[in-house]
Amino acid sequence: MADSLLEVGDHRVLYAADDLASHPTAAALVAQLGFGDMITPVQLSGRNLNWLGSTNTGQGLFVKKELGDQSRGPSRTMTFFDWLDADFYDTDLPVIRPLAMSADGYIQAYPAIHEGRTGQQLAVAGELDTKMLEGVGSGLAWLHHRGQSERSRHNAASPLPSSFGADAIDVEIFHGMSAAQLEAWTIIHRQEELRLACVDLLLGDTEKTHVPMSTIHGDLRLDQLLAAPDAENTCWIIDWEEFGYGSIARDLGSLAGDILNVTVIGALYSKSGRIENDIDDLVATGVSRASALIRAFVHGYFGRAQSLGSIRDSRALRASIVRYAGWHQFDRLVTSSEGLIATAPAARALAGIGHALIVDPEQFLPDFGLEMRSE
């Protein structure tokens, strides 16, 4: 993995990319496109290898090599695009189609979106747009509408990353955890009502929840939104490597939870990286900002879902969305604690919010714009 830092600017971290020639399948895919060689590509931060740059003919490319378990067959990214192109080439789902993929789909080449910014970058800069989020919600409703009858064609969506510890931690994993991670899991496990609610949400029988199942993105966060540098509020949903069949509340709650997480952290920390002023007031400010953004996303989703007419709405669905948003705060708490001796104050504050969302989601339906019409 490349570790030479090239640039940190506008919340974007670039590294010197691995030599493309040392990855023959990726190099062959670039050559197959016929655009020439990539000139000094850079690597964006992330869990996968990638190369971003232009070729000697001027074509901008983004090449990604997924590093996940390849023993499970073709990549879920390939499964997603094969399904989309076979049945729904004319789609309202805002995606960037690959120019080419390797035979197993684990390496993909896309047209580069130069100066594009992720939803997280926009949120950190205070520039996340409500109209943009409405559009994302509308596109997501299309995905859930089209995929409800697709269970036999798709694998179940991968489990959420931190769900393995919702009930208990295996001894082997326990011994490898940092002190901060142990503290994070203790926060969850020492409160029986919270632990049981997490187990029910993440490990329970989804068929008994009365929440609609469909094709889902499976890992929908602000980093999976890519905005174009234009005035049209163009925003694509990217990174489909966890695509599968699952609860539609997972997609909605994960993105809502990430909006909440990033916005509250932005309110808590000054540019110096330290929490300033009264933490309760800052949290309230962040929650208020996040609520407006989440409501726009939810409005776009349910407005489109209603016009499509096939997604079964209910209080159970809406409460489940809030619960997934709550779990996202604990997922971030656990993930951000890796290698640390103590959990961060901001992460603990958000875990407190997450607790309330999971245990009593009905109370927060109005804050998320999830009131039923009859209410």
pLDDT digits (tens, 9 = 90+) for 319-364: 999 999 999 999 999 999 999 999 998 899 999 999 999 999 999 9
Q: What is the mean pLDDT of the chain?
A: 89
- Token pair of 77, please? 């990214």
Q: Most confidently modeled of 16-30, 61-75, 356-370?
A: 356-370
CATH of domain 117-368: 3.90.1200.10
Three state DSSP letters for 275-313: ECCCHHHHHHHHHHHHHHHHHHHHHHHHHHHHHHCCCCC
Quote the CA–CA distance of 163 and 331 in Å, as a whole number.
8
Structure confidence at residue 243 as a pLDDT band (50, 70, 90): very high
Three state DSSP letters for 105-166: CCEEEEECCCCCEEHHHHHHCCCCCHHHHHHHHHHHHHHHHHCCCCHHHCCECCCCHHHHHC
**Which stretches does DSSP call E strand in the chain?**
5-9, 12-16, 38-44, 49-55, 60-65, 100-101, 107-111, 117-118, 213-216, 225-227, 235-237, 244-247
What are the start and end residues of each CATH 3.90.1200.10 domain in the chain?
A: 117-368
Q: Residue 207 has what pLDDT? A: 64
Do residues 220 and 144 lie in contact, with contact meaning Cβ atoms separated by under 8 Å?
A: no
Q: Helices (H) and strands (E) in the chain — how many of each?
A: 11, 12
Residue 373: how many CB atoms within 10 A of its CB?
Answer: 7
Residue 273 CA, distance from chain mean position: 24
Handedness of CA 300, 129, 236, 124 (dihedral sign): negative
Q: Residue 216 has what pLDDT? A: 97
Residue 226 sits at φ, ψ, to 5 deg, of: -125, 120
Do residues 286 and 265 lie in contact, with contact meaning Cβ atoms separated by under 8 Å?
A: yes
The pTM (predicted TM-score) of the whole model is 0.92
- Token pair of 100, please? 């080419």
Helix %, strand %, coil % of the chain (to 5): 50, 15, 35
What single letter denotes the amino acid at residue 33? L
Mapped onto helix, strand or coil, the DSSP state of residue 228 is coil
Structure confidence at residue 10 as a pLDDT band (50, 70, 90): very low
Residue 337: name the closest of 356, 321, 324, 350 by CA: 350
Classify residue 14 by its DSSP letter: E
Residue 308: name the closest of 117, 143, 104, 98 by CA: 143
Q: Is 262 left (phi over 0), alpha (psi -120 to 50) or beta?
A: alpha
Q: Residue 172 has what pLDDT? A: 85
Classify residue 46 by its DSSP letter: S
Give the least confident one: 29-38, 112-121, 152-161, 281-290. 152-161
pLDDT digits 0-9 by tens, 98-117: 999 999 999 999 999 888 89
Q: Residue 259 has what pLDDT? A: 98
User: Pick the residue with more confidence: 173 or 375?
Assistant: 173
